C-alpha cells in the first residue's frame, strides 16, 4: 500500500521541491535563464539588505498573527470543549465556526475592503458615533489590515487542533483540580493549558506555515505597500527571474522547516497524530 502514496508524494511533493532546488542554482540574464551550477542567486539574496528586511517583516506578521489566533482560538476551543455541555451544541457551534470557509479566501479578504476603506463602514460608523472626527487612514492598506485578514483567515486552524486536544482531556481532571482548591484560572493555567500543548503546537505549525508562505493576503490588504517573502518571490516570477525566485523559495522553506523543528523540540505531538 505504500506504493501509491509514495508515487503521489514523489510526483506532487518531492519532484517540485527538487526542481526548485535545481533551478535555484541556475543562471539568469535579463532576457534568459540557463542551466548551470552557480551560487549567484544565493550570494545576491544574502548580500541584499532588502532580503533581511522582508524576512523580518514576514516573521513579524507570523508572530503577531500567531499571538492573536492563539488567544482567540484557545478561547473559542475552551468555550466549546468545557462550557458547551451537550454534544449536539458542540457540533452545531463548531460547524458555525466553519461557515466563513464556505467562500474562498480571496472573497473573504476582499470583503474587508469596503468595510475598512476611507469611506467604509467602519469609518463612517465611528464618525457617526463621534468617536473620531476624520476617517482613520490606517484601517486599510496597512499592517493592521494585513494582520486582521490573517487572523480572520487562519484562526480556525488554531481552533480545530486545540479543540480536538481539549476534548480528550478527562473531565474528572478538572474536578480533581477544583477538589484540590484550584480556582478557574489556576485550573486553566496548571491543568488545561499544559495538557493542550500538543494541540496548540499543531495549530501553531499550521498558522506559521500559512502566514510565512502567503503572498496574496499581503498584496491585497496592504495595497502592495508591504512586502513579505511570498511577495518577493512573486515579484521575481513576474519578472521571469525563476532562478532568483527559486533561491528565495528554498531559503524560505529552510526557515520554516527550522522553525517547526525548534517548535517540535519543545512539545511532543506524536500522541496527537
Q: Which residues contact another protein (rule: CB under 8 A)?
A: 170, 172-173, 175-183, 186, 190-191, 194-195
Cα(227)–Cα(205) distance, integer angstroms: 22
> Least Å distance between CB 3 and another protein?
37
Beta carbon nearer to another protein, 199 or 230? 199
Cα(260)–Cα(254) distance, integer angstroms: 10
Beta carbon nearer to another protein, 6 or 176? 176
Question: Of 211, 240, 228, 244, which Cα lies nearest the Cα of 50?
Answer: 228
> Least Å distance between CB 224 and another protein?
47
Cα(207)–Cα(63) distance, integer angstroms: 10
Cα(247)–Cα(35) distance, integer angstroms: 14
Cα(204)–Cα(195) distance, integer angstroms: 15
Beta carbon nearer to another protein, 85 or 265? 85
Beta carbon nearer to another protein, 130 or 181? 181
> Least Å distance between CB 175 and another protein?
5
Cα(117)–Cα(258) distance, integer angstroms: 38
Residue 216 makes CB contacts below 8 A (sequence gap 6+) with 105, 106, 109, 230
> Least Å distance between CB 91 and another protein?
21
Question: Of 261, 200, 173, 237, which Cα lies nearest the Cα of 74?
Answer: 200
Beta carbon nearer to another protein, 82 or 215? 82
Most distant CA pair in the chain, distance: 74
> Least Å distance between CB 179 and another protein?
5
> Least Å distance between CB 191 and another protein?
6
Beta carbon nearer to another protein, 166 or 227? 166
Question: In which region does residue 269 sit, left (phi positive, over 0), alpha (psi from -120 to 50) or beta (all else)?
Answer: alpha
Amino acid at each position: 500500500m505504500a506504493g501509491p502514496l509514495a508515487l503521489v508524494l514523489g510526483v506532487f511533493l518531492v519532484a517540485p521541491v527538487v526542481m526548485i532546488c535545481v533551478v535555484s542554482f541556475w543562471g539568469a540574464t535579463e532576457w534568459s535563464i540557463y542551466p548551470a551550477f552557480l551560487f549567484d542567486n544565493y550570494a545576491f539574496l544574502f548580500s541584499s539588505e532588502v532580503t533581511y528586511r522582508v524576512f523580518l517583516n514576514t516573521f513579524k506578521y507570523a508572530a503577531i498573527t500567531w499571538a492573536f489566533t492563539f488567544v482567540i482560538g484557545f478561547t473559542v476551543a475552551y468555550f466549546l470543549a468545557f462550557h458547551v455541555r451537550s454534544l449536539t451544541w458542540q457540533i452545531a457551534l463548531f460547524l458555525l465556526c466553519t461557515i466563513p470557509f464556505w467562500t474562498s479566501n480571496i472573497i473573504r479578504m476582499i470583503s474587508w475592503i469596503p468595510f475598512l476603506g476611507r469611506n467604509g463602514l467602519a469609518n463612517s460608523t465611528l464618525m457617526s458615533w463621534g468617536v473620531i472626527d476624520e476617517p482613520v487612514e490606517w484601517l486599510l492598506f496597512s499592517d493592521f489590515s494585513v494582520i486582521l485578514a490573517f487572523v480572520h483567515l487562519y484562526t480556525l486552524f488554531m481552533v480545530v487542533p486545540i479543540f480536538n486536544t481539549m476534548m480528550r482531556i478527562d473531565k474528572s481532571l478538572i474536578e480533581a483540580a477544583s477538589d484540590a482548591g484550584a480556582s478557574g484560572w489556576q485550573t486553566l493555567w496548571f491543568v488545561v493549558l499544559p495538557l493542550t500543548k500538543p494541540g496548540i503546537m499543531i495549530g501553531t505549525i499550521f498558522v506559521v506555515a500559512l502566514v510565512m508562505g502567503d503572498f496574496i493576503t499581503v498584496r491585497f490588504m496592504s495595497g502592495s505597500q508591504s512586502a513579505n517573502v511570498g511577495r518577493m518571490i512573486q515579484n521575481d516570477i513576474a519578472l521571469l527571474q525563476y532562478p532568483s525566485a527559486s533561491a528565495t523559495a528554498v531559503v524560505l522553506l529552510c526557515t520554516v522547516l527550522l522553525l517547526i523543528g525548534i517548535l517540535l523540540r519543545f512539545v511532543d505531538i506524536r500522541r496527537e497524530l
